[in-house]
Amino acid sequence: MSKIRICNTAEIPSNGMKDYDVEGGLKVLIANAGDCYYAYQGICPHQEVCLAEGYYDGAVLTCHQHLWQWDITTGKQLFMDISGDTLQQLDLLARREKYETGSTLYNIGDPTDDLYILESGRVEFLIGRDGTSPAGFVLHKGEVFGWAALLENQARRIAKATCLEDSVLLRLNGEETLKVLESDPASGYLVMRKLSTLITRHLGSQGEK
C-alpha cells in the first residue's frame, strides 16, 4: 500500500490537533501527544461530526456534539460501554448557552442545580467557602465544571465561576442527569468514576502549587 503525505509535524500544535482533506474525499485528523503523532478518521463514527471541532487535552479526544470520547494513544472509547440510549438522553438534556465576558455563571452559596461543559472561551473557577482567599484555576475548551450538581449533600456552591471572555457552554441539569444515569446503573458507574477522576485531577493539581 502506497504512503500518502499529509503534513509536517511542525504544523500540529503541541498536544493539539488539526484535520486535513486527503485524496478520495477523506478527512484525516492528526493529533500530537508529547513526542508522538496519531492519525484518525476526521469524522466521528457516531453521527458524522467533524472531530477537529471537538475537545482535546493532549490525551483524550471528545466529540463536541454528543460527548463521545477516545484515548488518543489507543483509539479506545473511554465510554464505550455506555449505552447509546443513555448517551442520547444526556445529549437531549444539554442546553447550549452563550455568555459575555465578565458574566458570573454562579457564585459561592448559589444552589448546585447544573453542571457545565465549556465549548469555547475561558472560565475562571475560584474555590473558597468564605470567598476571601480562594484558590482557583482557569478552565479551557472541553472542561467540565459545576461537579457538585451530581454529588450528594452539596446543596450550595463553594466556588465562583466567571467568564474571562465570551464563552459558549453546554449546561445540564444535575437532577435530570442523575435520573438518566440511575436508569442505566452500568453506564452511571462509568460516568461517576470518570467524574471522580476529573475532580481529583483538578483539586490535586491545585494542592501541588
pLDDT per residue as tens digits for the range 14-48: 999 999 998 878 899 999 988 899 998 898 876 67
Q: Is the pLDDT of residue 181 over 50?
A: yes
- Are 110 and 152 in contact, with CB atoms under 8 Å apart? no
- Are 128 and 82 in contact, with CB atoms under 8 Å apart? no
| Higher per-residue confidence, 57 vs 82 | 57
Domain with CATH 2.60.120.10 in the chain: 84-208
User: How many angstroms separate the CA atoms of 31 and 105, rounded?
Assistant: 32
- Residue 27 phi, psi dihedral angles, 5° rounding: -115, 125
The residue written with cell numbers 448546585 in the block is: 112
The CATH code of domain 9-71 reads 2.102.10.10
* CATH superfamily of this structure's domain 84-208: Jelly Rolls (2.60.120.10)
Q: Is the pLDDT of residue 135 over 70?
A: no
Q: Is the pLDDT of residue 78 over 80?
A: no
User: How many angstroms separate the CA atoms of 76 and 65, rounded?
Assistant: 18
Lowest mean pLDDT among 54-63, 107-116, 147-156: 54-63
Residues of the chain with pLDDT > 70, as a percent, come to: 79
Q: What is the DSSP string of 93-145?
A: H-EEEEE-TT-EEE-TT-B--EEEEEEES-EEEEE-TTSSS-EEEEE-TT-EE
Q: Is the pLDDT of residue 129 over 80?
A: no
Which one, of 118, 124, 125, 95, lies nearest residue 168 by Cα?
118
- The x, y and z cell numbers of residue 58, run together, are 493532549
pLDDT per residue as tens digits for the range 158-180: 889 999 999 999 899 999 999 99
State the average pLDDT over residues 2-20: 90
Total residues found in the chain within this entry: 209
Domain with CATH 2.102.10.10 in the chain: 9-71
User: What pLDDT band is residue 77 in, cutting at 50, 70 and 90?
Assistant: low
Q: Is the pLDDT of residue 8 over 70?
A: yes
Which one, of 25, 60, 55, lies nearest residue 41 by Cα?
25
pLDDT at residue 1, as a whole number:
53
